Structure 1
Amino acid sequence: MRMISADEVDRSLTFAGLVETLREAFRKGAVQPVRHHHTVERPDGAASTLLLMPAWTDLNAAGTSDGGHIGVKIVTVSPDNNAIGKPAVMGLYLLLDAKTGEPQALIDGQRLTQWRTASASALAASYLAREDASKLLVVGAGALCPFLAKAHSAVRPIEEIRIWNRSPSNAEKAADALRKDGLNATGVSDLDAALGWADIVSSATISTEPLISGEKLRPGTHVDLVGGFTPGMREADDTAIARSRVYVDTRAGATKEAGDIVQPLQSGVLNPEDIIADLHELARGEKRGRTTTEEITLFKSVGAALEDLAAGIAVYSKLKG
């Protein structure tokens, strides 16, 4: 079994390449049970979340000449980690041979998650963002921020990136890191003004109160909601949902786990039939993405085990040679 580090993941992938890998994965599909979701209570701080995300190649489908794979990701989300300088999200990804069950690789799960999450957002944007979208706002300056900035820049002609965070100093640190990578990025303190400026709004926070005000969005904006992964988390308000054509990564996951979908469904702001498509339907051409330059589109991602499987296979195959 090969141990694969974060640096090796970085050397194995490109955003443009992984977007296309995910497009093909959603087109073909895989077996992916709804993930296990467990709350780990702590007596001295916020509860952690344990996520178990299995998926495997459908051996009855075409295109499994490599014999297929089984993968499972083990993730912990610990909100209090930010206060001690550690990432909130940690994890490992185990890749196995689908026929024999033999372990093939143990991959840095945090880095794999960052790559596949950002690339799934970029995949959605390839269908939903205007083709001339050049202004990107990233809400949240955490570990996903640079990945989202680079992934969206791989599918749209992004010329300027603005970053907002509750802590302005962290927004500026994230912007400085992106500038060192050659991107035109700045930190901003006025979120409402930035929302009205952006062509694409990509939000990756664990907020329980909406940050994205639908009233501030201008026509033609694409909203990418990444952070909320429980029914109690919320990044966009009801107005943003009501003004948008709504899309999700998977219907099963988003309608059960994503507060930005679950809460509007419960209140009646959103009806099930208002969810226009998921990534399977978009990738297969079964449903349409953006239809006009003026409409607001909104994509809610909670993460799909298929994404991890596809990214894990891509990394393993590249390093295997």
Structure 2
Amino acid sequence: MQFISAKTIHDLLEWEGAINAIHSAHLGPRHSGDGFFLGDAAYGLLSRAVILPGRGAGLKMASICPANAQAQPPRAVEDAAFVAIDEETKAISAVLDGPAITRWKTAADSVTAARILSREDSATLLVLGAGPVATALVDAYLHIRPSIRNVLLWNRTAEKLTATLATLREKGIEAEIVQDLNAAVSRADIITAATSSASPLILGKYVQPGTHIDLLGGYRPDMQEADGEAVAKARIFVDDRTNAMMSGDLHIPLQQGMMTEGQIEADLYEICQNATFKRQKQDITLYKNAGGAHLDLMVSLLVIERLKHSSAA
């Protein structure tokens, strides 16, 4: 058994590799898994287990404390570890730094879908949130959509976006921190949200035809980043149907009668395997990134494989 640090994970990964790992795994057999969330909005423990036929198994455990963001100095809201289990021996092969794997797999999950669901000519990206995953989403979307010319950044505490803004401008990207979120939603071709909001931030009446909406933050039934109107006017896609329907982004509109489960057109397995998917230019697409230990496992296996080759070199 080996412990793989955050630094090692970041050194070994790049976006195309992480995206390909997720895409290729979704061309094969479906995973089986289960999990639980224990706690409430103030503090919770999240655990998810997965078996991925032909590839291995794994277990994720995360400790989530939103108040840590307000500590002085700020502490990580989430701490986690991912345990990878070898397919052949069924022994624990590695324990990987959870936040690092989460950063890569969460953004790669979203852009694996967005590469198919969003418009190829998307020019304006709006990112909600200021945490590590939100920062990763900026990089990942710029990787898959080189057409992006403008990046709009929004967070309740705008000061937390200063470093990201400076980095983007150093790269020659037109970027700005926005105060009027509704106006920014109206301008965006792609909207991606990685917040812990319990009330909708993205209002459907401001979403324009042709927009792709990517929702990552709401992992509990009471959390919601986009309102029911945004969901009702969109073509709906998810990474995992079970996990997605437990999120407020879909659970609440379902309870309100603004959508049905039957309106979910495809999950990520079906998205990756359906080479005939077509979108009309005016379509609004919505992707609920609810996550799952299978995604952690897919990216972890890539790290383990690359580490093995780098050690042998």
Unaligned runs of 5+ in 2: none
- 1:143 maps to 132
How many Å separate the matches in 1 of 2:29 and 2:213?
Answer: 25
Instruction: Tell me whether 1:185 sits opposite 2:175 in the alignment.
Output: yes
Deviation at 1:174, TM superposition (A): 2.7
Deviation at 1:101, TM superposition (A): 2.7
Instruction: Tell me whether 1:48 sits opposite 2:43 in the alignment.
Output: yes
**Secondary structure of 2:138's partner?**
helix
- 1:308 maps to 296
Query: CA contact under 8 A between 1:34 and 1:253: conserved in structure 2?
Result: no
Instruction: Tell me whether 1:280 sits opposite 2:275 in the alignment.
Output: no
- 2:210 maps to 220
How many Å separate the matches in 2 of 1:8 and 1:237?
Answer: 39
Partner letter of residue 23 of structure 2? R
How many Å separate the matches in 2 of 1:190 and 1:174?
Answer: 19
Cα shift readout 1:124-166 (whole Å, capped 9, x = no counterpart): 1011100111211001111212100111112112222110001
C-alpha spacing 1:163/1:306, structure 2 compared with 1 (3 Å) = same
Q: Alignment partner for residue 106 of structure 1, among 95, 103, 113?
A: 95
Deviation at 1:30, TM superposition (A): 4.1
Deviation at 1:181, TM superposition (A): 5.5
- 2:83 maps to 94
Cα shift readout 1:95-146 (whole Å, capped 9, x = no counterpart): 1223333221111110100100000100110111001112110011112121
Cα shift readout 1:54-106 (whole Å, capped 9, x = no counterpart): 112314xxxxxxxx422111112111110111121210111122333322111
**Secondary structure of 1:38's partner?**
strand
Unaligned runs of 5+ in 1: 60-67
C-alpha spacing 1:52/1:131, structure 2 compared with 1 (3 Å) = same
Please list, as runs of the form range in 1=range in 2, the aligned pairs for 1:1-321 lying within 5 A after superposition. Answer: 1-39=1-39, 47-59=42-54, 68-84=55-71, 85-157=74-146, 158-180=148-170, 183-255=173-245, 257-285=246-274, 288=277, 290-321=278-309
**Secondary structure of 2:258's partner?**
coil
How many Å separate the matches in 1 of 2:28 and 2:142?
Answer: 26
Deviation at 1:176, TM superposition (A): 2.1
Once the two structures are overlaid, the 10-residue window that deviates more, 204-213 or 9-18, is 9-18
How many Å separate the matches in 2 of 1:245 and 1:155?
Answer: 21
Partner letter of residue 217 of structure 1? V
% of aligned pairs identical? 35
Query: CA contact under 8 A between 1:163 and 1:187: conserved in structure 2?
Result: yes
Query: CA contact under 8 A between 2:86 and 2:93: conserved in structure 1?
Result: yes
| Residues paired across the two proteins, number | 306
